[in-house]
Structures are given as structure tokens and as C-alpha cells.
Structure 1
Amino acid sequence: MIYTQSISGTTYTFDGLVELMAKATPRRSGDELAGCAAESDAERAAAAWQLADLPLTTFLEEQVVPYETDEVTRLIIDTHDRVAFQSIAHLTVGGLRDWFLETAVRDDGAARIAAVAAGLTPEMVAAVSKIMRNQDLILVASAATVTAAFRTTVGLPGRISTRLQPNHPTDDPRGIAAATLDGLLMGCGDAVIGINPATDSPHATSELLYLLDDIRQRFQIPTQSCVLSHVTTTVDLIEKGVPVDLVFQSIAGTEGANRSFGVDIAMLREANEAGHSLHRGTVGDNVMYLETGQGSALSANAHLGTGGKPVDQQTLETRAYAVARDLEPLLINTVVGFIGPEYLYDGKQIIRAGLEDHFCGKILGLPMGVDVCYTNHAEADQDDMDTLLTLLGVAGAAFVIAVPGADDVMLGYQSLSFHDALYVRQALGLRPAPEFEAWLAGLGMADTDGRILPVDVLDSPLRALSAAR
């Protein structure tokens, strides 16, 4: 279908939904690299105007990636809940934005948003995010509540959890243990203690899993561990009796991009079943940990949609959340600035993408977190990360990732530090997961409000924990 929109005497033409969505997207370097970005602010405004008037039913009739050739599209269409969609089926994209903003300020806003989640396709949610200001994304996301649980509960209102990421360039157990203790002493690790291994060796992965499980059991820490090896490696280790809590995998928004990761939907479902078979959770049974990132499909050259046109990276990112929603994960986060400035050029683009990803994932019913990060060759710095972290805290992000000193010495990128997690909790009055908070309080590390206490008032149980270092 051809879409047209006139602004100030100039008529802009958009050849199909793929092009309209791409041209309406706020500026970012990845779309410019793919050749699908608007050529001017006027063209972008025209596309956004036209997109706002588009009926939501259009997204059920016109696909951005063909149904016949892409299993992610088939998943989206075949699992769409027409009953949940019925209450908003009459709306346009602009009307959906207004509905979200009106609903967000109601006392029952969270329940109303949750009730329509299964009736929203990723493309609908991506479209409405494109015409929302940052404050809109924050307000609506803050009104939604999505929880998941294993040994801790993530996503509860008034709380923000952290992934403690003790990566080491050689997987040295001593270095990993030291970083883990450092994070625990600052109240981090309630979402997961998760290691990116230096290799995908089954033996190395197994050794790290045993290390984390020993630490967890020795100090009776209510959390979960994960070594972020390929899903096939983890499933093989499950079959060998290795203590696996969460099953990890990177995912994307097209069949081709997932194939580049060495996975498909059937494989992911089997991995989910393998994780469930262990019954290691105590307060819940969500066992998957998933990561995404804008630009992953483009970097895999798997970003082309209907008519062979490039699909914008934010729409493809949101389609990955359909795969995640099917797996009911404990954790999912966008690694928002990790791929580099070719996809998100500077701090402004990273901040916008982080808010978009969080909003879209949460509205689709996911316990959405964000790795607030950037690479050293991007036009960004820690001040930009402070800004994004603060905005995500206001928006109700389920969790963020923290590494020693905000500098990941293995992956070579900048993220958040353990101190940053302390900052956002203190500044915004946020608390850790309740099970982890009780553990901190039991050690004398936290007060009744979940705040980490100064070193000079910590009691003897903490000294014993520190002495184990």
C-alpha cells in the first residue's frame, strides 16, 4: 500500500508499511547505515503524522516481514489474542498513544495495560513508541507492572534489581569470586549473578556454574546464577547434572537473525523445558534469561522485510520481544549501546533507544531490563549513562546490569558500576527484590528500607562474609 502525507505544500510518499515505519523512526545511525532512514526532519515528521493516523488493524493485514518466510512473523500472527485486542481494535496508532497516556494516570492503569498486552503485536507497540516523546515512554512504562520469579521476584513496583556481572578475561575463579563479593557487599546481584564466559567451552562453563552455585549455597544467597554460554551448551550441561539455574540465549527479531545466533524457536522452547525440568526455583519457575539489542538483525544481514526493503532496527528489536514473550523469561534486557556507534551513534540516540526498548518490552508483558552501556568509540560518556539510568529508574525498569567500576574488562565496554545501583536506589527510593533485601537485612547490611548501611555500622555476620574474601 502507498501512503502519502503533505506538509507545508510538499507531499511525501511512503511505499508500504516497512518504509513508513522506518521513516517515522527518530534519527539513528543504524537506519542511516541500512539506507532506510528519513532524509530530512520534514520527511520524518510527515511519516510520523501518517503513522499516527494508521488503524491498528493495518498491522494484522500488512506484515513488515513476510509470514511465509519468517517464523517470528508466524509466531506473532498465530499467537495474537483477538479477544484482548477487541477493546482497542478501533484505535489508530495515535489513538493508542492517547489511550496509554489516559490509562497510565488511572488507579487501575497497570491492570488495564496488562489486559491488552496479548492483543498487541510488536509492530503496533513499535509504531506507537515512534510517535511518543521520552516523557510519554517513561510515564506509560512506569504505570505498567510485570513480574517474574525464580529465587527472587523481579519487576515489583518500587524496586529495581541488578545483574551482578563479574566477568574476567581468562575466567579466573579468583577474579570472578572477588568481583562477586564486591558486588554483594554493595547490595547487587538480586536479579542474577551472571558471567559472560571468555570461551564457550562446556568444561569452563561447568566450572563457573559450580563456582557460583557454591558461593550461593555457602552464604545462603537468595538469587540465581547464570553463565551466558550458548543455549546448546547449557542444555548439554543440564543433561549432565551441572547446577544450572537460568538458561541464557541472545535472540533477535527475524528468523534469519536468530539463525545467525544458532537458534530457532523450537530449540528455545526445548531449552525452556529443560530448565523447568530441574525445579530449582523457590518462589517461581521462570528459567530463561534473554538478551537483545537494536542493530543485531542488521549486523547479521537479516534485516530485510516485505518487498526486500530494510526494516528499521527498532521495529526489528521489538519483534524479538515476541520470541521472548513466548518463553516467559525471568529476565530479558536490551544491551542498548553494546553494538557500537554504527547503530546508535551518541548518548542521545542511546538514551532514546533504551527508553524505547524498555517501554516496548514492558508493554508487551516482559520483565524488561536494560544494560545501560556504550562502547569506547561511541560519542557517549558516563554522564549519558547516569541520565539513562535515572530515567529507567523512574520508568520502572525491572533490573540493570552492574560491573566492577563500570568497566567490563572482558567484553571491553562501559556499563554501570555497583555504586551506580546504590545511587539510583537511594535517589529514587527504590529497593532490591524482597527476598534479597531480607537476606541483606539478616546480615546487617541493610536497614528496614533496604538501604545499604555504612561500613562502620555493619555487624559481625558481614565481617565474616568479607573475611571469606
Structure 2
Amino acid sequence: MNYSATVQGKSYQFRNLRTLMAKASPRRSADELAGLGAETEVERALAQRLLADVSLRQFIEEPLIAPEQDEVSRLILERHDAAAFAPVAALTVGEFRDWLLAGKGDLAALAPGLMPEMVAAVSKIMRNQDLIAVARRCRVVTRFRNTLGLPGRLSTRLQPNHPTDDPRGIAASILDGLLYGSGDAVIGINPATDNLQNVHTLLNLLDDIISRYEIPTQSCVLAHVTTSIELMRRGAPVDLVFQSIAGTEAANRSFGIDLSLLREAKAMAEALGRGSIGNQLMYFETGQGSALSANAHHDIDAQTCEARAYAVAREFSPLLVNTVVGFIGPEYLYDGKQIIRAGLEDHFCGKLLGLPMGCDICYTNHAEADQNDMDTLLTLLGVAGCNYIMGIPGADDIMLAYQSTSFHDALYLREVLGLRPAPEFEAWLQAIGIFDQSNRLGDGRQETRLLSDFGGLSELTV
């Protein structure tokens, strides 16, 4: 189908739905780098107006990538639930926006009926406040050793990365995070070296700390899924299986994965039975621009590719999903404004599709952004009901060399918005004396004992 209009005597042609979607996207450097973005704000506004008149059914009839060519497209179409889609099936993109903002319907029941492209499309014609207001109504609760995503809760991933994977340095960062109430989403390490022995050592360290202090949380070493599979075969204590994912088959292939490999890993981890109150154990990370980086975007804009990645995540009922929103760099999200917008889009799209979305609120040092921009996005996502954020010592990841959010940032957000940790983790923090009964930091008496215990790191199984 051809989409066209004339404004002040000038004709604008959008040759297909894929082109219309790209031109309708809010400005970002990834789309400009790919030659897909609108050339003027007039063209962008016109594309958004035309997109608002597109029927939601059109996304079923006009797949952005032919399913014969792409297993993600096949997954999207095969999993589309017509009965769940029925309440909005007759709507256009613009009417769907109005329907969402009117607070109609059960969004959890609607999620299986929504295709990622539909959700991406409606996000393109929404203001930031629209994205926040709708996402806030989407609650996605998951469980492994604690309960994540409940109303009034904000969890954190304690991220104790180290440039040489030194177990003592990692353990020191874990202690730092625990003493600030961080780590209920996961204690998750990005390994500097993804080899079997190194990752096994880190898994043993995390397992020992969690079991020794009876911490109601889960661990993850963010190694490639094939590393996790081999370590599970060897009996390593794997809680969560991690993998970066993307929105096209070709982009996932560049990560060395496909859907069948993810299914194999999930089945193996489930068989371990390490969860105490649930068995949702997949952890996925995404980020706008990954498909473009792999030259695997099929001329689809970065934000729509990102939404398609959520179809992959949704297939595996994950415990955690997060968009590492500013990590790739200014080539894809140029400045603070673009990062803030992308973070709100990603959270909205993921939540509307039924995912337990978190966000790594971050930027690289060569982006036109600073920590004030991250404070803004942090606060907006807190209002929007984000499931979890990152907790990094000083907000500065010394291994990955980027800027994110700190343990203190989580305390700020919980304080100003009246949010609390996951209930099981909250009870542990209070019982051990890190938090008092008002969820404020305790008097420090427990800190001395924990420091003494952690001082004996040579006894840990490393």
C-alpha cells in the first residue's frame, strides 16, 4: 500500500508501511545514520498524521518483514491472539491511542493480541506524558526467589562489575550495594572474560553469598547463552539465563542465537528447579540500534526493531527484561533528549506487550548527555511504574566504561515516590538491620558485622 499526501502544493510519498513508520519516528540519530528518518519536521508530522489513520489490522496484512524470511516475523504472526485483539481490532492507530488514554479495557488481557509493530506505531504519535500514563497502568509481576513488579515497588539490579573479574573486588561492590538496599531484581555480573572457568567462578561466588546470608534474590552472570548451557551441563549454580536479543532473525544470528537455542536453555534451567516461589528465569537485554549495528534492520527504524525484540522476550516468560537505553552511543541516540524519549518508548512498548520491563538508564561518555538527563529519565520511569533499574557503585561502571544509576539513585526514587523493594527482600533488609521499619537506612550496626564477614572472602568458594 502507498501512503501519500500533499501539503502546500508539495507531494509526500511513503512507499510502504515500513517507510511510513520510520518517517513518523521522533528524531534520533540511528534512523538518520540509516537514511530512514524524516528529512524535515513537516515530513515527520505528516507521516505521524498518516500513521494515525492506519488500521491496526494493516500490521497483520502488511508484515514489515516477510515471515518466510524471518523467524521473528513468523513468531509474531503465529502468537497473535485474535480473541485478545478483538476489543481494539476495528481501531486505527490514532483511535487506539485515544482508547489507551481513556483508560479502557484490561491491558494485561489485551497484551497477547498486540503485535509489536502496533505498539511501536501508537508510541510514535504519543507525547512523553502519554507514554508514562499508559505504562503506569500496566503491571507485570514475575517470581523466582522473590516477587517483582508489584504496585508501589521498585527493584534494582545490583551490578558489581570489575575490569579483571577479581572476586574480592566484585564482593566488595556487592556488599556496598546490599548496604544501600540494592539487589532485589538480581545480583548480576557482566563478566570481563566470557570463558567457562571464569564464569563458573563468579557463579560460585554469587551462590555462596546468597546462600550464606539467606538473601531472597537471584544471581546471574551475563555470559552468552551457550556458556550458560555448558555450565548447566557441568552442574554450575545457574539461577537466571541471560541473553541479549534483537528484533530480527539476522540480528539475533549476529548474537549467535536463534529461538531454538533459547528454548533449549530455558528448558535446561527450569529442570534445575532453583527458584523457591516461581520459575521465571530468563533475563533479556535489548537496546535501540542493535539491529542497525548488525546491518540486519531490513530498513526498519530503530524503535520498531526494538519493539520486535520484545516479541522474542515474550515467548519465554522472562523474570527480567531491560532496555540498555543509551549504551550503544550517540551514533544511535545522540543526546539526553533522544535517550529520555527512547527510554520512555521502550518501557511503554514492553509493558503494553506484557513484559516485566526495567531500564538501564545510561549514557556513554561521548554522548551529549549528563547525569542530570539520567535523573530526569530516572524520575519519569519511576512515575511510569518501571519494574527495576540498575544499581552501580557511583553510577560509573568501571568495566563497561559507561554511566548509569547508583545505589543512591534508587534510594532517592523510592523516597520521593514512596516506593519499596520487593516484599521478600524488604523483609530481609529489615530483619538484618540494613533498613528500619520505615525503609530508611538503619543505624549502621549491621554494617560492621557484614564488613567483618565479607572480610573473609578467601573462604568463599571462588
TM-score calculated relative to the size of structure 2: 0.97
Q: Which one of 162, 165, 176 corresponds to residue 168 of structure 1? A: 162
> Is structure 2 residue 285 aligned with structure 1 residue 291?
yes
Per-residue deviation, residues 167-203 of structure 1 (Å, max 9, x unmatched): 0000000100000000000000000000000111000
- 1:294–1:317: 8 Å Cα contact kept in structure 2? yes
Task: Output the CA distance in 1 between the equivalents of 2:47 and 2:419.
Answer: 39
Task: Output the CA distance in 1 between the equivalents of 2:281 and 2:145.
Answer: 10
Per-residue deviation, residues 235-283 of structure 1 (Å, max 9, x unmatched): 1111111100000000000000000000000100111111111111111
Task: Output the CA distance in 2 between the equivalents of 1:145 and 1:452.
Answer: 28
**Other-structure match for 1:94:** 94
**Other-structure match for 1:190:** 184
Number of matched pairs: 454
Pairwise CA distance, 1:32? 0.2
> Is structure 2 residue 138 aligned with structure 1 residue 144?
yes
**Other-structure match for 1:17:** 17
**Other-structure match for 1:387:** 376
**Other-structure match for 2:458:** none
Matches within 5 A, 1:451-462: 451-453=440-442, 457-459=443-445, 461-462=446-447
> Is structure 2 residue 425 aligned with structure 1 residue 436?
yes
- 1:376–1:413: 8 Å Cα contact kept in structure 2? yes
Pairwise CA distance, 1:115? 1.1
**Other-structure match for 2:123:** 129
Task: Output the CA distance in 1 between the equivalents of 2:113 and 2:425.
Answer: 34
Q: Which one of 206, 218, 222 corresponds to residue 212 of structure 2? A: 218
- For structure 1, the residue ranges without an aligned partner over 5 or more in a row are 305-309
**Other-structure match for 2:40:** 40
Matches within 5 A, 1:313-332: 313-332=302-321
Task: Output the CA distance in 2 between the equivalents of 1:296 and 1:261.
Answer: 10
Per-residue deviation, residues 30-78 of structure 1 (Å, max 9, x unmatched): 0000000000000000000000010000000001111110000000001
**Other-structure match for 1:227:** 221
**Other-structure match for 1:377:** 366
Per-residue deviation, residues 383-440 of structure 1 (Å, max 9, x unmatched): 0000000000000000011111111010010011111111111111111001100000
**Other-structure match for 1:423:** 412
- For structure 2, the residue ranges without an aligned partner over 5 or more in a row are 455-462
- Matched to 1:375, the amino acid is T
- Matched to 1:360, the amino acid is C
Pairwise CA distance, 1:154? 1.1
> Is structure 2 residue 457 aligned with structure 1 residue 468?
no
Pairwise CA distance, 1:152? 1.3
- 1:5–1:47: 8 Å Cα contact kept in structure 2? no
**Secondary structure, aligned partner of 1:67:** coil
Task: Output the CA distance in 2 between the equivalents of 1:239 and 1:245.
Answer: 14
Task: Output the CA distance in 1 between the equivalents of 2:62 and 2:88.
Answer: 18
- 1:19–1:36: 8 Å Cα contact kept in structure 2? yes
> Is structure 2 residue 20 aligned with structure 1 residue 31?
no
- Matched to 2:14, the amino acid is F
Task: Output the CA distance in 2 between the equivalents of 1:219 and 1:47.
Answer: 56
- 1:165–1:402: 8 Å Cα contact kept in structure 2? yes
Task: Output the CA distance in 1 between the equivalents of 2:340 and 2:215.
Answer: 33
**Other-structure match for 1:158:** 152
**Secondary structure, aligned partner of 1:468:** helix
Task: Output the CA distance in 2 between the equivalents of 1:365 and 1:450.
Answer: 29
**Other-structure match for 2:201:** 207
Per-residue deviation, residues 56-102 of structure 1 (Å, max 9, x unmatched): 00000001111110000000001100010111100000011111111
> Is structure 2 residue 259 aligned with structure 1 residue 265?
yes
Per-residue deviation, residues 336-365 of structure 1 (Å, max 9, x unmatched): 000000000000000000000000000000
Measured on the aligned residues, the alpha-carbon RMSD in Å equals 1.0
Matches within 5 A, 1:405-416: 405-416=394-405
- Matched to 1:149, the amino acid is R
**Structure 1 residue runs of 4+, over 6 Å off?**
none
Task: Output the CA distance in 2 between the equivalents of 1:151 and 1:357.
Answer: 26
Pairwise CA distance, 1:462? 4.3
Matches within 5 A, 1:106-125: 112-125=106-119
Pairwise CA distance, 1:19? 0.2
- Matched to 1:466, the amino acid is L
